[in-house]
A and B are shown apart, each in its own frame.
Chain A
Amino acid sequence: MSRESPSLDTAALRSDGPAATEAPRWSCALGGALTTTLGIFGAVPILHAGAGCGLGQQFGLTYAAGENAGGPQGGTNTPCSSLVEEHVIFGGEDKLRSLIASSLQLMKGELFAVISGCIPSLIGDDVDAVVREFRDQASLVHVKAPGFGGTSYDGYELLLEALVEQHVTPRPKVKGRVNLLGVVPYQHLFWKGELAVLKEELAAIGVEANILFTEFNGPELVRNLSEAELTVVLSPWNGHRVAEKLKQKFDIPWIAFPSVPVGGKQTTSFLRRVAAELGLDRGPVETSIRAAQRHSYRFLEYAGDGLILGLPHAYFAVVADAGTAIGITQFLTNEIAYLPDIVIIADGTPEAARAEVVRQLTEGLDIAGKPEIIFESDAHVIRQRLKGHHFLFLLASSLEKHTAGEEYGALHHSISFPSYDRLVLDTNYAGFRGGLKLLEELSSKWIGPL
């Protein structure tokens, strides 16, 4: 089988055209700050932006994250100053002032996040001064998240940094408490289930995880961030800025894992590392890990005939954000004995984090032949780069769905943003059982006599 990639000069494709990306797999900084706020039950977003800025995120961000609506906040009920030309000329501070006043009366919530988009950032509204007027009435934070300032991944950092700066105060450390960061709501499709599972996996070894999102005491969890002994980041680059800020402000050390752990091997090393950092007694930790391993591998055994006789050692390709790509590629390679052909990292991973991503996808794989690894976010270029490879599974976004069979002869499964072709509420691949779930879904693409 030819292992050569198709002759495609992506630099040439880019150099003549404008610096644009076709169908990027993220939204803007405002979108990230908004959806990160939505992850915190009890927090209310107040957008200081154009009217379309919020609704656009519903179609382009929350629906794209496994067809999710906003929840109690974040739908068409999102408070927004809906700035128009008049405000661009005369300023939007008055409109924001009346919006905050009415939102505090109307919206149920304990923590209000004022998110400034492109317009106030361009015209220079003094949003901090307006927000300050309400600080004696409610808990408010202000975050500048203009769309031109970054992607939704940046918006996640900006919102959490603003919370840490403006809302979190020093508290005594609680023994055995850790903060989990790096799972970006909505951008990481399976965020809800992943966080719940990891909280349970850590509880099993006696560690209390503050997962911040998806729990009904969100604002309290925000304030509890300063109580942790350790921050655990589950991404090669997301959440690092926030973790560093928590370290500087509250002296909380942090460690980073390359991904949310998928399956037995990754989860085992994750739990062992956290336990070691916290100085836990190894005996009970190992007992707990062994019990979980025994269960997950006995249940993996039921897939044995399928993986030995049915479809063993299938080549696969991945197009995903860095963390998801690493977790899934390592699991399928190191536990299922599938063969990674090409991995495309499509989340705009910064240069500084790329060496570690490559290391995880080469040294981190228990196999002689390594996959081709490409950092590329342009949907068209990704489509071209997949050509000429011979993979049977394409784990990607729903953007790849309709060309997967025709162009690559591959079975497609949506595991990364954007995925408009599946509903994701609780599904996830995290932890000891997560690998089983991924294998169920992947195998269900081909099994069956008819």
Chain B
Amino acid sequence: MTRIHSLRGDALPTSAQAAYAGAVACGEFLLRSWKNKSFQRTLLEHTDDSYHPWWYEQDDPLHFVEKKGAQDVA
């Protein structure tokens, strides 16, 4: 009953990843993930972020991407 590899899956119906069974298992997986978020909420509350706060306060996901080239094109 060992889960072999996430890409190959294992014998459990809920781990199927190919064909129709895989589609059903994927939907089932999403349903389950919406039912309980306590792990995420608990760790959010009790563990510090690894990034400095300014990162979350600015809204540019490409902040560290070299912008010089882009400006040249513009």
A56 within 8 A of B: no
When the two chains form the complex, which single residue of A308, A367, A447, A449 contacts B36, counting CB atoms closer than 8 Å?
A: A367
Q: Which residues of A contact B67 (CB under 8 A)?
A: none
CB distance from B44 to the nearest CB of A (A): 10
Q: Which residues of B contact A104 (CB under 8 A)?
A: none
Please name the residue on chain A nearest to B45 by beta carbon. Answer: A297
Q: Across the interface, do A339 and B32 meet the contact criterion of CB distance under 8 Å?
A: yes
Q: Which residues of B contact A369 (CB under 8 A)?
A: 35
Q: Across the interface, do A293 and B35 meet the contact criterion of CB distance under 8 Å?
A: no
Please name the residue on chain B nearest to A307 by beta carbon. Answer: B39
Cα separation A440 to B32 with both chains bound (whole Å): 22
Cα separation A309 to B5 with both chains bound (whole Å): 11
Q: Across the interface, do B4 and A449 meet the contact criterion of CB distance under 8 Å?
A: yes
Q: Across the interface, do A313 and B33 meet the contact criterion of CB distance under 8 Å?
A: yes
Cα separation A368 to B3 with both chains bound (whole Å): 28
Count, A-B residue pairs, CB within 8 A: 75
A366 within 8 A of B: yes
A335-B42, A392-B12, A449-B4 as given contacts; A297 in contact with B35, CB under 8 Å: no
Q: Across the interface, do A294 and B46 meet the contact criterion of CB distance under 8 Å?
A: yes
Q: Tell me what chain B mostly uses at the interface: helix, strand, loop, or mixed.
A: helix
Q: Across the interface, do B42 and A265 meet the contact criterion of CB distance under 8 Å?
A: yes
A264-B46, A297-B46, A310-B6 as given contacts; A409 in contact with B12, CB under 8 Å: yes
Cα separation A409 to B3 with both chains bound (whole Å): 13
When the two chains form the complex, which single residue of A301, A311, A333 contacts B43, counting CB atoms closer than 8 Å?
A: A301
B73 within 8 A of A: no
In chain A, residues 136-163, which have Cβ atoms closer than 8 Å to a Cβ of chain B? Answer: none
Q: Which residues of B contact A392 (CB under 8 A)?
A: 12, 14
Cα separation A338 to B33 with both chains bound (whole Å): 9
In chain B, residues 15-74, which have Cβ atoms closer than 8 Å to a Cβ of chain A? Answer: 28-29, 31-33, 35-40, 42-43, 46-47
Q: Which residues of B contact A312 (CB under 8 A)?
A: 32-33, 39
Q: Which residues of A contact B5 (CB under 8 A)?
A: 449
A300 within 8 A of B: yes
Q: Which residues of B contact A310 (CB under 8 A)?
A: 3, 6
In chain A, residues 337-385, which have Cβ atoms closer than 8 Å to a Cβ of chain B? Answer: 337-339, 366-369
Q: Which residues of B contact A1 (CB under 8 A)?
A: 28, 31
A402 within 8 A of B: no
Q: Across the interface, do B38 and A297 meet the contact criterion of CB distance under 8 Å?
A: no
When the two chains form the complex, which single residue of A293, A294, A335, A448 contacts B39, counting CB atoms closer than 8 Å?
A: A335
A1-B28, A337-B38, A338-B36 as given contacts; A311 in contact with B46, CB under 8 Å: no
CB distance from A268 to the nearest CB of B (A): 10
Please name the residue on chain B nearest to A411 by beta carbon. Answer: B1
In chain A, residues 433-450, which have Cβ atoms closer than 8 Å to a Cβ of chain B? Answer: 445-450
A297-B47, A298-B47, A300-B43 as given contacts; A313 in contact with B36, CB under 8 Å: yes
Q: Across the interface, do B3 and A335 meet the contact criterion of CB distance under 8 Å?
A: no
Cα separation A197 to B4 with both chains bound (whole Å): 36
Cα separation A392 to B25 with both chains bound (whole Å): 14
Q: Which residues of A contact B2 (CB under 8 A)?
A: 446, 448, 450
Q: Which residues of B contact A411 (CB under 8 A)?
A: 1
Q: Across the interface, do B46 and A313 meet the contact criterion of CB distance under 8 Å?
A: no
Q: Across the interface, do B37 and A337 meet the contact criterion of CB distance under 8 Å?
A: yes
Cα separation A449 to B4 with both chains bound (whole Å): 5
Q: Which residues of B contact A304 (CB under 8 A)?
A: 43
Cα separation A392 to B5 with both chains bound (whole Å): 17
Q: Across the interface, do A309 and B38 meet the contact criterion of CB distance under 8 Å?
A: no
A interface residue numbers (CB < 8 A to B): 1, 264-265, 293-294, 297-298, 300-301, 304, 307-315, 333-339, 366-369, 390, 392, 405, 409, 411, 445-450
Residue pairs across A and B with Cβ atoms less than 8 A apart, 5 shown, are A297-B43, A314-B32, A337-B40, A390-B14, A448-B2
Q: Which 10 A-B pairs have the closest CB atoms?
A: A337-B39, A297-B46, A313-B32, A337-B36, A337-B38, A446-B3, A367-B36, A334-B38, A335-B42, A366-B38
